[in-house]
Amino acid sequence: MALGHDKQGRPIHLQRAGVASGKRMAEACAYFGREWQQAFMSRNIFFQELQAARMEDATQRFGHLVTQQVVIMDMAGMSFRPDQRALTIFRDFAGMMSRNYPETLYKQFIINAPRVFSAIWRIVRVWLDPNTREKVHVLGSTFAPTLLQHIDAHQLPVEYGGTSPYKFPVVKSIGEGEALWKAVVQEFNAPELLSETGWMAAPTPLG
């Protein structure tokens, strides 16, 4: 999900990864069948292309080169036993990022990380190259002060310690999620996506 920008104009990508475990993951795999892995990967690739477009837009809008993004990965809702398929997706995503989008990550904040995530992190961190590992910061539930060091409050929703009134859509089923996904794709292909009145949060004023 695309949010606003950090204090230097880098676009923010929010991943609500915690809900992609347990029952929701099982539902998604049943919905997509044998193509579940490709379905998840195609969505990740789409959002990376969206972030690349937002970097180009930020470069023009702020008057300086923007080539990186900030990623916030929210682990809220993560089950005690994360689904092995979710770990597979993370591994494939990490590999895809290293191959196709090197050096586009400025910082990644993993927030609302439960205690069990420490053990999981020891597994998944080996899938990241050393340079990327240095950019990843694992935080608990008191993440807001750290985020606000890099992101102005009006660029973050209230639930993430900011002041933006933005409300996340409530998706009750995989079918609803697919409808929302198709709407986002259509909007991305529309010329007005990157306009000042588009669906993305207003840019951070610089200078």
**What CATH number does residue 123 fall under?**
3.40.525.10
Q: Which residue has the higher pLDDT, 202 or 43?
A: 43
**Is residue 35 a part of any domain in this protein?**
yes
Average pLDDT rounded to a whole number, residues 194-200: 37
Given a cut of 60, whether residue 191 has pLDDT beyond it is no
Q: Phi and psi of 62, rounded to 5°?
A: -95, -10
Q: What amino acid occupies position 81?
A: R
**Is residue 200 a part of any domain in this protein?**
no
**Is residue 20 a part of any domain in this protein?**
yes
Q: Which of 26-30, 125-129, 168-172 has the highest mean pLDDT?
A: 125-129
**Is residue 59 a part of any domain in this protein?**
yes
State residue 91's pLDDT score: 72
**Is residue 199 a part of any domain in this protein?**
no
Strand spans (E) along 64-130: 69-74, 105-111
Q: Which residue has the higher pLDDT, 60 or 200?
A: 60
Query: How many domains does one find in the chain?
Result: 1
Query: Across all residues in the chain, what is the average pLDDT?
Result: 76
- Distance between CA 152 and CA 7 in Å, rounded? 6
Q: Any residues with CB less than 8 A from the CB of 120 and at least 6 apart, and which?
A: 82, 87
**Is residue 33 a part of any domain in this protein?**
yes
**Is residue 83 a part of any domain in this protein?**
yes
- Distance between CA 14 and CA 194 in Å, rounded? 18
Residue whose token pair is 């470069």: 59
Given a cut of 90, whether residue 200 has pLDDT beyond it is no
**Is residue 12 a part of any domain in this protein?**
yes
Average pLDDT rounded to a whole number, residues 123-148: 88
Do 72 and 15 meet the contact criterion of CB atoms below 8 Å apart?
Answer: yes
State residue 18's pLDDT score: 67
State residue 190's pLDDT score: 46
Domain that residue 112 falls in? 2-194
Q: pTM for this structure? A: 0.76
The 10s digit of each residue's pLDDT in 143-161 is: 999 999 999 999 999 989 9
